[in-house]
Structure 1
Amino acid sequence: MEKPVLHLENADIYQRDNLVISKVNLTINKGEFYYLIGKTGSGKSSLMKTLYGDIRLQSGTGTIVDFDLKDLKDREIPYLRRKIGIVFQDFKLLNDTTVFGNLEFVLKATGWKNKVEIKQKINEVLEKVGMQSQYYKMAFELSGGEQQRVAIARALLNDPELILADEPTGNLDPKTSLEVMHLLNEIHKSGKTILMATHDYQLIVKFKHNTLKVEAGELFEVSQQTTV
């Protein structure tokens, strides 16, 4: 049996000193796609931040891509983030840098040195997201949808075992949201594991996947048949 990509057991999720979700039990295996839904302020983002090491796991146990979240050392966080891809609502691109430069920055920061290999890798991920012809543009020149495509390309750079997408369509119009969702689905079909926090119920209805809901301080799975 392959080890799960993500496993939480009786994990308490905090936002500063407030307990926002208690006793989380969750297992996500390789190749699965889960939505994470819940009202604003319910703790979705705090759970995501706990998974990528921004918030400490204080009680319960948790492993993500073979890292122990409870005993995670500060120096290990960059290595954890190389094994997961993170896509944010607000893209977090370097605005005054080209598309190519944004991706090159991440590769160099994660230890890539060979210029030819860097260029090949950047071309490969840009091709996957349909942005290869825009590699020379500055990030601020791109539309929201294009910026999110670049952000997804960035998340794919180190061939992550898990992609955490935190409201990836939150700043996009409905048409662009659909395009980004199609792209995430294609990436999922290629074998990637995805956990996506969203409040866009139209996407959940259109693209059916496992759905987790945070409500009243608890996390539980909802079936596709029930109204979310």
Structure 2
Amino acid sequence: MSETILELNNASIFQRETLILSDVNIEIKKGEFVYLIGKTGTGKSSFMKTLYGDLPLKSGSGQIVDIDLQSLKEKEIPYLRRKLGVVFQDFKLLNDRNVKENLIFVLKATGWKDKTKMNQKIEDVLDKVGMKTKSFKFPYQLSGGEQQRVAIARALLNDPELILADEPTGNLDPQTSVEVMEVLQDINKNGNTILMATHDYALLLKYPSKTLKCDGQRLFEVVQKKQQQH
């Protein structure tokens, strides 16, 4: 496993025929916590979708978790997604089953068979997000913050090499956002690499880290103001 988790060179991000971002050159290394910022419509979601195989990479080169994005075939997308943990703004939990069954569903879908191992894994990931006692609850019985914790636990099930969090605090109030952020910080300290798209600049100030910005069809690293050369 290389130290580089994600690398794009001269990449262009398209949504169908529309050019969204051009000449993207970025690298994310193992263990980093990286923010992706930019106004709505500047291409954050399209960029994320390209990374997990929803949009094809049509030009330039890109590798994510040792998989070549340019030659990615439809049938390889499930394999790619097993190496990634994706956390969405709207949780995407299944409301007709409890927390544990939500997680079992994902494990079965990704090829797990051994019941004992599955139960152990579920306990582990729920423990990591502080939800160990809530495995029998249904999503609608949980607060937004608790649902997002479960969604993060779900993203951890297959020990992903990279977690893509797309506006994970977008639907949460400021206090809950901080709690969810603490969970993500802890997971990062345990060695998981995280790329998090966010609008929440308060979080950036509170937890400063490497930041990529989408603006004017470009994606570039922004340096904290105080370090910029005048």
Structure 2 distance, partners of 1:18, 1:226, is: 36
Q: How far 1:3 sits from its partner (Å)?
A: 4.0
Render the CA deviation track for 1:121-142: whole Å, top value 9, x for unaligned: 0000000001110000111211
Structure 2 distance, partners of 1:112, 1:18, is: 39
Matched positions, count: 227
Is the CA contact 1:95–1:140 (under 8 Å) kept in the aligned structure 2? Answer: yes
* Paired position in structure 1 for 2:27: 27
Q: How far 1:171 sits from its partner (Å)?
A: 0.3
* Paired position in structure 2 for 1:91: 91
Which amino acid counterpart does residue 6 of structure 2 have in structure 1?
L
Structure 1 distance, partners of 2:216, 2:75, is: 34
Render the CA deviation track for 1:53-82: whole Å, top value 9, x for unaligned: 000000000000011111101111111111
Is the CA contact 1:9–1:61 (under 8 Å) kept in the aligned structure 2? Answer: yes
* Paired position in structure 1 for 2:73: 73
* Paired position in structure 2 for 1:110: 110
Aligned ranges 1:129-168 → 2 under 5 Å: 129-168=129-168
* Paired position in structure 1 for 2:50: 50
Q: How far 1:14 sits from its partner (Å)?
A: 1.1
* Paired position in structure 1 for 2:41: 41
Render the CA deviation track for 1:14-66: whole Å, top value 9, x for unaligned: 12221111010011010011100000000000000000000000000000001
Which amino acid counterpart does residue 121 of structure 1 have in structure 2?
K
* Paired position in structure 1 for 2:59: 59
Render the CA deviation track for 1:153-174: whole Å, top value 9, x for unaligned: 0000000000000000000000
Which amino acid counterpart does residue 124 of structure 1 have in structure 2?
D
Is the CA contact 1:48–1:166 (under 8 Å) kept in the aligned structure 2? Answer: yes
Structure 2 distance, partners of 1:187, 1:129, is: 9
Q: Tell me if 1:82 matches 2:82.
A: yes
Is the CA contact 1:38–1:214 (under 8 Å) kept in the aligned structure 2? Answer: yes
Normalised by the length of structure 1, the TM-score is 0.97
Secondary structure, counterpart of 2:21 in structure 1: strand
TM superposition outliers: structure 1 runs of 4+ over 6 Å = none
Q: How far 1:226 sits from its partner (Å)?
A: 5.5
* Paired position in structure 2 for 1:212: 212
Is the CA contact 2:13–2:22 (under 8 Å) kept in the aligned structure 1? Answer: yes
Structure 2 distance, partners of 1:126, 1:143, is: 15
Is the CA contact 2:2–2:66 (under 8 Å) kept in the aligned structure 1? Answer: no
Q: How far 1:2 sits from its partner (Å)?
A: 3.3
Is the CA contact 1:15–1:43 (under 8 Å) kept in the aligned structure 2? Answer: no
Secondary structure, counterpart of 2:62 in structure 1: strand
Secondary structure, counterpart of 2:75 in structure 1: helix
Structure 2 distance, partners of 1:31, 1:86, is: 16
Q: Tell me if 1:193 matches 2:198.
A: no
**Structure 2 unpaired stretches of 5+:** none
Structure 2 distance, partners of 1:203, 1:81, is: 27
* Paired position in structure 1 for 2:13: 13
Which amino acid counterpart does residue 136 of structure 2 have in structure 1?
Y
Structure 2 distance, partners of 1:215, 1:118, is: 43
Structure 1 distance, partners of 2:2, 2:103, is: 31
| Identity %, equivalent residues | 66
Is the CA contact 2:63–2:69 (under 8 Å) kept in the aligned structure 1? Answer: yes
Structure 1 distance, partners of 2:139, 2:186, is: 24
